[in-house]
């Protein structure tokens, strides 16, 4: 159940007809299909993910990169030995992390030398290694999450049962953050959330009354996922159809193709050139 752009609760709220909570497992399958179709259509992902990525040296000028919210390190393989320890660049001294549409906007899509640092770009295959938090996020900040006003407690890094300080706040389908760890909420019973630990490249850890944050996405992206799920849910029957490389489980394209692509066209402003 990775990285849903909406939750079953969002779908039930938007639906014209009652959808019982017992249908959450089915709604999650629809939402997963819709979320991955959104990724494919926009040629980007909106969820945050910790990762290291590698880039060839640019022919000149700036290094264009996929959506990134922040970088924890940027290094060059100046010794050409596959270790990326010859040059460690410092943000603000050696490079700026910027957006091509606006230097202060998010996400960032460009690494630009300052002109006064110790290093400059040079050509080479897999010359540069960038480690950070990748993804579009909410399009507004480097920290696309909001506090839920509750805390989470879990004794170790392996338990999947997390105690939440209040009920009816955390819901199935949410991507939440505790400290630097991301968790996928699978289900909730009372004050206990069953989660998948350490998702999106994060590291699972023990938490004692850690503040809980919910990951945010652009409203249009969430609404698109909800609308696709609602309309397809009411035209459902068991079927799995391939669209490109995305398995659209639960979508009947003989009935829903027009509806499906109409919603995707509404978020075409979020489409990106693939710079990866």
Tens of pLDDT, residues 186-240:
999 999 999 999 999 999 999 999 999 999 999 999 999 999 988 888 776 544 4
User: Residue 20: what pLDDT?
Assistant: 80
pLDDT score recorded for residue 257: 63
Is 85 within the bounds of a domain? yes
DSSP state for residue 270 in the 8-state scheme:
G
Q: How high is the pLDDT of residue 16?
A: 65
For residue 3, what is the DSSP state?
Answer: -
Q: Is residue 128 part of a domain?
A: yes
What does the block give as tokens for 258? 């027009």
Dihedral sign (CA 11, 15, 21, 25): negative
- The pTM of the full predicted model, rounded to 2 decimals, is 0.89
Taking each helix axis as running N to C, give the angle between helix 253-265 and helix 219-233, from 0 to 180 degrees, rounded to the nearest 10. Answer: 170
* Measured distance CA(45)–CA(3) in Å, rounded: 9
Position 96 in a domain: yes
Q: How many CB atoms lie within 10 A of CB 54?
A: 12
Tens of pLDDT, residues 20-36: 888 888 899 889 989 99
Q: How many CA atoms lie within 13 A of 148 on its CB side?
A: 24
Q: Is residue 73 part of a domain?
A: yes
Positions of the chain with pLDDT under 70: 1, 16, 236-259, 273-276
Domain that holds residue 107: 49-134
How many domains would you assign to the chain? 1
Residue 140, domain member (yes or no): no
Q: Is residue 124 part of a domain?
A: yes
Please enumerate in sequence order all residues whose Cβ is within 8 A of that of 82, keeping only pairs 6 or more positions apart, or say none. Answer: none
The residues, any chain, with a CB within 8 Å of residue 74's CB and separated by 6 or more, are: 88, 89, 91, 95, 111, 128, 129, 130, 131
With respect to residue 74, please indicate whether it lies within any of the assigned structural domains. Answer: yes
Report pLDDT for 86.
87
Pick the closest to residue 200 from 265, 133, 247 (CA basis).
133
User: For residue 59, is it within any domain?
Assistant: yes
């Amino acid at each position: 159940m990775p990285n849903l752009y909406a939750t079953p609760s969002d779908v039930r709220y938007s639906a014209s007809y009652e959808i019982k909570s017992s249908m959450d497992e089915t709604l999650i399958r629809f939402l997963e299909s819709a979320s991955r179709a959104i990724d494919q259509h926009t040629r980007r992902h909106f969820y945050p993910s910790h990762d290291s990525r590698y880039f060839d040296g640019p022919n000149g000028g700036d290094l264009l990169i996929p959506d990134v919210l922040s970088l924890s390190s940027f290094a060059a393989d100046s010794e050409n030995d596959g270790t990326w320890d010859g040059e460690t660049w410092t943000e603000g001294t050696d490079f700026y992390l910027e957006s091509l549409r606006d230097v202060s906007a998010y996400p960032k899509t460009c690494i630009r030398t300052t002109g006064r640092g110790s290093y400059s770009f040079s050509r080479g295959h897999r010359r540069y290694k960038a480690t950070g938090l990748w993804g579009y996020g909410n399009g507004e900040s480097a920290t696309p999450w909001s506090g839920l006003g509750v805390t989470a407690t879990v004794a170790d890094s392996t338990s999947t049962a997390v105690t939440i300080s209040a009920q009816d706040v955390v819901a199935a389908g949410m991507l939440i953050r505790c400290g630097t760890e991301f968790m996928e909420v699978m289900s909730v019973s009372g004050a206990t959330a069953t989660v998948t630990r350490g998702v999106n490249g994060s590291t699972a850890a023990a938490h004692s009354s850690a503040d809980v944050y919910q990951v945010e996405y652009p409203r249009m992206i969430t609404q698109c996922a909800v609308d696709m799920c609602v309309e397809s849910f009411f035209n459902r029957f068991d079927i799995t159809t391939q669209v490109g490389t995305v398995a659209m489980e639960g979508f009947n394209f003989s009935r829903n193709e027009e509806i499906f692509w109409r919603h995707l066209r509404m978020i075409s402003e979020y489409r990106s050139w693939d710079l990866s």
